[in-house]
Amino acid sequence: MPDSPTIDDTFAEAFPMRATRLIITAIDEELAMIAAREFCGNASSVIGCDAEAGIEGSVPASDTIDSRPGVAVLAFAFDKKSLEKAVTARVGQNVLTCPTTACYSGLHSEEKKDRIKVGAQLRFFGDGYQFSKKLEGRRFWRVPVMDGEFLCEDVVGSVKGIGGGNLLVCGTNQAQTLAAVRASAAAIDALPNAIMPFPSGIVRSGSKVGSKYPQLKASTNEKWCPSLRGQTETTLQEGEQAVYEIVIDGLDESAVAAAMQAGLAAASAMPGVLRISAGNYGGKLGPHHFHLHQLERAVS
């Protein structure tokens, strides 16, 4: 068994976001997954993207409204208006265009103020030939396309989500540290209500707010870069030659906490991991603080 890594006495600082879940279905799981992956493209960080998005998991045909294979995706933005714009554009470009797909709400909001318009906007692609159908209080738009019809729910629900849960895994070398965060990401990926929006769930380019170049909102976090030892103040400890970050968005605090617990436990069990930490801004960025020692005790 590998030696247990040091767990820093620190916390991950997360912030409020607006979130929604979509269920994308198709004639087979392959096409549903392709549409879902395209929907989630270029959605790693709201620093430079219109939304943060990721695949939550597959949905069996027995659990979808149209009895076809489906994929659940989660999307996050800073506010309802931004979320609506991003989701509608992504469905229009990447789901409507994909053969045989349909798109449904995976969250149902009782309050009208919490709903975002998706099918209600995409229906205009039908150029006047679209028509709607109401079923059990839900409205669906049927838009004619060249292989039949694209069916899309009129509105989808949204909730107050959380963005920015994170783990920083420090290891002896790139290969072992990468294996550890892959194990961590796999453990998190198995859980509901949370996503890791970065490619493969893993971040190599940890960032800080601001830059010496005024046009940049964020830049490399030099304190965590092994190659900059000796050139700048470093956070790295002896033997730490590689660092990877896992960033987590969730529908609520319990989802982010469960994901961080699972990721922490999985990474801790892997060889070559020397230390696990988290990124925060002293409590100034967001109100949600996930303390690593508390999470560690919860899984031990």
- Identify the pLDDT of residue 300: 61
For 18-159, which CATH class? alpha beta
Distance CA 85, CA 60 (A): 28
Q: Is the pLDDT of residue 1 over 50?
A: no
6-13+161-299: CATH topology is Alpha-Beta Plaits (3.30.70)
| Gap between the Cα atoms of 153 and 134, Å rounded | 10
Q: What is residue 225's predicted lDDT score, i.e. its pLDDT?
A: 97
Percent of the chain surpassing pLDDT 70: 99
String of DSSP letters for 130-194: -EEEEETTEEEEEEEETTEEEEEESEEE-EEEEEEEEEEEEESSHHHHHHHHHHHHHHHHTSSSE
**Is the model's pLDDT at 180 over the cut of 60?**
yes
Q: What is the pLDDT of residues 54-91, one digit of tens each?
A: 999 999 999 999 999 999 999 999 999 999 999 999 99
Q: How confident is the model at residue 2 (pLDDT cuts 50, 70, 90)?
A: low
Tell whether pTM > 0.85. Answer: yes
Q: What is the pLDDT of residue 253?
A: 97
* Mean of pLDDT over the chain: 96
- Where exactly are the structural domains of the chain? 6-13+161-299, 18-159
- Res 51 pLDDT > 70: yes
Give percent of the chain with pLDDT exceeding 90. Answer: 92
Q: What pLDDT does residue 110 have?
A: 87
Least confident of 44-48, 184-188, 241-245: 44-48
Determine the average pLDDT of the residues in 174-181: 98
CA distance 259 to 191: 7
Residue 132 has pLDDT above 70, yes or no: yes
CA dihedral 65→67→68→69, nearest 10 degrees, is 80
Among the listed residues 218, 196, 207, the one whose alpha carbon sits nearest the alpha carbon of residue 262: 196
Mean of the pLDDT values across residues 27-44? 98
267-292 pLDDT per residue, tens: 999 999 999 999 988 887 889 999 99
Dihedral angle computed from the Cα positions of residues 257, 3, 181 and 290, in that order, rounded to the nearest 10 degrees? 20
For residue 209, the model assigns a pLDDT of 86
